[in-house]
């Protein structure tokens, strides 16, 4: 078991390295993304079992549109396939066994059986209408689940999220719904896509890159950072546990002084 580790309430993940994983094997990058999806299913299941309350993963950034068209297309198709299958399970409450045929759709079974709430952050108007519809329904069908909230960031950029929030604030101010004096950090946070979600306690980035890549810029203000060289498709429950072990050794001061 997880040796009595104190669980971070919210873990944010930058799942990076799918392309390098594929390259190492002489495979097309798309195969790395497919393997990455399978890893994600296992990690969502592990996270829910370990007692993590919020798990936020970076699936596609606002900058990722600059990749070659076929790679963008493949990523969107993967997202569509998973969103629709997940919705199907959630709506029909189909059994685990049925969806285990051919692949291990652990995310699906977790969502259906372990009460996972699904939320999407990012600007969704750029997606095809059927995908937007699937996302909206996934969110509404799972909104009462309380075991874990699984947040997927797609077409997400921290600066884009903040810019959209400012736009909403300006409209509300113009329409008399909020006065400048009423703006606080808490109020501003309620305008972000992550409204109602606590800030991440731990950020894990795979594949060794030491940067945020425009992820959760507001929310990561006091998050503990952990970077591993492990490529995302190779990431395991043990790697997740190791990150949480590191987290357990951190002293979070939030600008104060040490308690010792």
Q: Where do contacts with ligand IPE occur on this chain (CB under 6 A)?
A: 14-20, 58-61, 64, 75, 207, 209, 211, 213
Residue 60 found at the interface with Mg ion (CB under 5 A): no
Complex with Mg ion: residue 14 or 197, whichever CB lies closer: 14
16 labelled catalytic: yes
201 labelled catalytic: no
| Continuous segment of H or E residues that includes residue 154 | strand 148-156
**Closest C-alpha to 72, from 37, 105, 38, 33:** 33
Residue 193 found at the interface with Mg ion (CB under 5 A): no
Dihedral sign (CA 69, 210, 216, 234): positive
Distance between CA atoms of 113 and 235, rounded to whole angstroms?
24
Strand-pairing partners, residue 56, are 12, 151
246, interface contact from ligand IPE, Mg ion, none, CB < 5-8 Å by kind: none
Residue 16 found at the interface with Mg ion (CB under 5 A): yes
Choosing from 18, 64, 88, 199, the catalytic residue is 64
Complex with ligand IPE: residue 61 or 219, whichever CB lies closer: 61
CA distances from 153 to 3, 61, 119 (A): 31, 8, 9
Which of the 8 DSSP states describes residue 237?
Answer: H
Complex with ligand IPE: residue 49 or 214, whichever CB lies closer: 214
Choosing from 16, 160, 193, 201, the catalytic residue is 16
Catalytic residues: 16, 64
């Amino acid at each position: 078991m997880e040796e009595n580790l104190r669980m971070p309430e919210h873990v944010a993940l930058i799942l990076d390295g799918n392309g390098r994983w594929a390259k190492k094997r002489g495979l097309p990058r798309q195969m790395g993304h497919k393997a990455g999806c399978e890893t994600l299913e296992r990690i969502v299941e592990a996270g829910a079992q370990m007692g993590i309350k919020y798990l936020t993963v970076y699936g596609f950034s606002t900058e990722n549109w600059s990749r070659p068209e076929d790679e963008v297309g493949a990523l969107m198709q993967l997202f569509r396939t998973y969103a629709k299958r997940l919705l199907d399970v959630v709506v029909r409450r189909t059994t685990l066994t049925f969806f285990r045929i051919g692949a291990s759709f652990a995310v699906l079974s977790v969502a259906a059986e372990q009460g996972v709430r699904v939320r999407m952050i990012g600007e969704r108007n750029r997606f095809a209408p059927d995908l937007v519809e699937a996302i909206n329904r996934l969110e509404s069908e799972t909104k009462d689940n309380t075991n874990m909230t699984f947040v997927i960031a797609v077409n997400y950029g921290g600066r884009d999220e903040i810019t959209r929030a400012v736009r909403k604030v300006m409209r509300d101010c113009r329409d008399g719904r909020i006065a400048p004096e009423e703006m606080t950090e808490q109020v501003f946070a309620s305008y972000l896509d992550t409204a109602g979600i606590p800030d991440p306690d731990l950020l894990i980035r795979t594949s060794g890159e030491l940067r945020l890549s425009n992820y959760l810029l507001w929310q990561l203000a006091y998050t503990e950072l952990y970077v591993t060289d492990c490529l995302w498709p190779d990431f395991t429950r043990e790697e997740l546990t190791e990150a949480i072990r590191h987290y357990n050794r951190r002293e979070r001061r939030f600008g104060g002084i040490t308690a010792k």
